[in-house]
Chains A and B, each alone.
Chain A
Amino acid sequence: MNQPRLITTCDGLQALIDALVSRGYRVLGPVVRDGAIVYDAIARVADLPAGWTDHQEAGRYRLERRGDGALFGFVVGPQSWKRFLHPSVETLWTMRQGEDGVRISSAATTAPKFAFLGVRACEIHAISIQDRVLRDGPYPDTAYAKRRQDAFIVAVNCGQAGGTCFCVSMRTGPKANSGFDLALTELLDGASHQFLVEVGSEAGAELLERVPHHSATEAECAAAAAVVARAVSQMGRSLETDGIKELLQSNPDHPRWDEVARRCLSCGNCTMVCPTCFCTTVEDHSDLTGASAERVRKWDSCFTLDFSYLHGGSVRSTGRSRYRQWMTHKLASWFDQFGTSGCVGCGRCITWCPVGIDITQEAAAIRSSLNTGKGEHHGGS
């Protein structure tokens, strides 16, 4: 939106949080816990990871102290906002058998309204990707749609890139251009600590009235642009997206799949931390008398052996086929299914893989082996 740029301070940020709380939002944001930056309830600016940054590499994540007091001087941690919008455990319905027969009722959803503080551009794209899957299909997940509609999003533009980030390759960042109610760019210059604010919606504009702010100067706008430019220049990874769908779908028997299978533990970490992975399973529970039952939906991963169970065995019984499924789905089949890539370049799967498998490296290996004439040219059996 072509709105005026505004400036607010750390006190202004506190006012923002307070205003959200007073409107009944459950405010969630980054906090430090167990050696990582995760998303949890916050009430005060002091709850934010001031002065912390993250050092990320394939299979490595470590928090480090910064030299300054930046509130958002890190990138993304092991969690994504999907843990609130698409919860890992959810009761779908309950059933009771009584004298008047059987009654099945949808589980009542009394979820609070969420306000997410500190949503990165890649995460905004991830949320909109999940919107397409869970909300915009022929059978929408109405609980997801409601949580989504009620959610208030305060984006933060990244001032630095993580070691495994490649949002530039996926064209999902580092600047948030839409999909937010408010967007902040942290401007830290010596003693001066303020935030450039962009308004992305009417709800955002309305909330901003509760927050002290003034117009940004040209210099402040330029400083914000420089912050983003710095992040752009620091990308830890890159992924060549040209023809990636063709590349992966035409090479199901490429030897690289065997190679990665030797390393992959099919632990499923990548699917848990990925902000777009959406697969779930259902469990049917009942009490011993069978008089009451419920269906619970839980996160699942295509890496589990049971995921493709059919008629006494699994269709994808080898780790090789499961890794191939995940990567091909994420970078290729997603286009057929939902019209976009499934990957936003956040780098979590690279960071949190215990053996450091790097999706950008795997894609590059397949691509280069075909370019140089090595490896197989045609997949299929």
Chain B
Amino acid sequence: MEDLEHILAEQPFFAGFSAEHSRLVAGCARNHRYDAGEYLFREGESADEFFLIRHGQVALEMVAPGRTPIVFATLGEGEIVGASWLVPPYRWMFDARAMALTRAIGIDAACLRGKCEADHHLGYEMMKRFTPILVQRLHATRLQILDVYGKR
């Protein structure tokens, strides 16, 4: 049984986390392994966990009738999958599929939300790390919409 606390501490996302906070988060964490083609979660499901990819690649995609799912982003090692666990009604808004063998740490959303409510310092440390990711994703999405390589 791997020491999750150590594994989390090694992740760039948790850089600078205090030992106490690391322990709190590790208490909500568990290991996952997904084979190529397996889904981490599906649109509409309850956003119970969010994931930190230790190894592998995950495609974020949306299904539309009559066509194969459209991948709008891919995430890799060290990246966080999922933000809907932060926002009520805590439901996933897209599918996340492992493109190759993927190992990820899943962090229980309800567990972490509860601990953040109890310890606002922990909450703020999580927000400080989460917000830049969201901003970056939003920016990247906008750039993709801009279709910069297209012809005018």
Whether A and B touch (Cβ < 8 Å) is answered with yes
Q: How far is the CB of A306 from chain B (nearest CB, A)?
A: 15
A312, CB-defined interface residue at 8 Å = yes
- State in angstroms the CA–CA spacing of A313 and B151 once bound together: 12
Residue of B nearest to A311 (CB): B152
Q: Which residues of A contact B151 (CB under 8 A)?
A: 312
Tell me the chain B residues, 111-152 only, with Cβ under 8 Å from chain A.
Answer: 151-152
Chain A interface residue count, Cβ-Cβ cutoff 8 angstroms = 3
How far is A32 from B92 in the complex, measured between Cα atoms in Å? 82
**Inside 8 A of A311's CB, which chain B residues have their CB?**
152
Which chain B residues lie closer than 8 Å to A312 at the CB level? 151-152
CA distance in complex: A313, B152 (Å)? 9
**Chain B residue at minimum C-beta to C-beta distance from A310:** B152
On chain A, the residues within 8 Å of B152 by CB distance are 311-313
Tally the A-B contacts, defined by beta carbons under 8 Å: 4
What is the chain A residue whose CB lies nearest that of B152? A312
What separation, in Å, do the CA atoms of A311 and B152 have in the docked complex?
7
In the assembled complex, how far is the CB of residue B149 from the closest CB belonging to chain A, in whole angstroms?
12
Residues 49 to 77 of chain B near chain A (Cβ within 8 Å): none
- Over the window 304-331 of chain A, the binary record of Cβ atoms lying under 8 Å from chain B Cβ atoms (1 yes, 0 no) is 0000000111000000000000000000
Within 8 A of B (CB), among A193-217: none
Q: How far is the CA of A226 from the CA of B151 in the complex (A)?
A: 66
| A24–B151 alpha-carbon span in the complex (Å) | 57
Contacts of A313 in B (CB 8 A): 152
Interface positions of A from 7 to 47, Cβ below 8 Å from B = none
CB distance from A158 to the nearest CB of B (A): 52
A85-111: CB near B (< 8 Å → 1, else 0) gives 000000000000000000000000000
- Determine the distance from Cα of A88 to Cα of B151 in the docked complex, in whole angstroms: 35
CB closest residue in chain A, given B151: A312
Chain B nearest CB from A243 CB (Å) reads: 38
Expressed in whole angstroms, the minimum distance between the Cβ of A332 and any Cβ of chain B is 31
In the assembled complex, the Cα of A311 lies from the Cα of B148 at a distance in Å of 12
Q: Which of A274-316 contact B (CB under 8 A)?
A: 311-313
Chain A nearest CB: distance from B152 CB in Å?
A: 3
Determine the distance from Cα of A118 to Cα of B63 in the docked complex, in whole angstroms: 80
A248–B151 Cα distance when bound, in Å, is 35
A312 vs B152: C-alpha distance in the bound complex, in angstroms? 6
User: Which residue from chain B places its CB closest to the CB of A313 in the assembled complex?
Assistant: B152
Distance in angstroms from B48 CB to nearest chain A CB is: 44
Chain B's closest residue to A312 (CB) is B152
A292 CB → nearest B CB, Å: 33
A248 to chain B, nearest CB (A): 31
B73 CB to closest chain A CB (Å) equals 27
Docked CA distance A229–B151 (Å): 62
The contact string, 1 if C-beta is below 8 Å from chain B, for chain A 169-210, is 000000000000000000000000000000000000000000
Complex CA distance for A144 and B151, rounded to whole angstroms = 40
Per-residue 0/1 for B58-102: is the Cβ within 8 Å of any A Cβ (1 yes, 0 no)?
Answer: 000000000000000000000000000000000000000000000
In the assembled complex, the CB of B141 is this many whole angstroms from the nearest CB of chain A, namely: 22
C-alpha gap A312/B150 in the complex (Å): 12
- Report the minimal beta-carbon distance from A128 to chain B, rounded to whole angstroms: 42
- How many Å from the CB of B151 to the closest CB on chain A? 8
Query: Complex formed: what's the CA distance from A311 to B151 in Å?
Result: 8
A9 to B152, CA, bound (A): 67
User: Whole-angstrom distance between the alpha carbons of A90 and B151 in the complex?
Assistant: 35
The distance from the CB of B89 to the nearest CB of chain A, in whole angstroms, is: 40
How many Å from the CB of A309 to the closest CB on chain B?
12
**Chain A: minimal CB distance from B116 (Å):** 38
Distance (Å) between the CB of B74 and the closest chain A CB? 29
State the Cβ distance, A222 to closest chain B Cβ, in Å. Answer: 68
**Distance in Å from the Cβ of B150 to the closest Cβ of chain A?**
11
> Smallest CB–CB gap between B148 and chain A, Å?
11
- Residue numbers of B with Cβ under 8 A of A are 151-152
Ranked 3 nearest A-B pairs via Cβ: A312-B152, A311-B152, A313-B152
4 residue pairs A–B, Cβ–Cβ below 8 Å: A311-B152, A312-B151, A312-B152, A313-B152
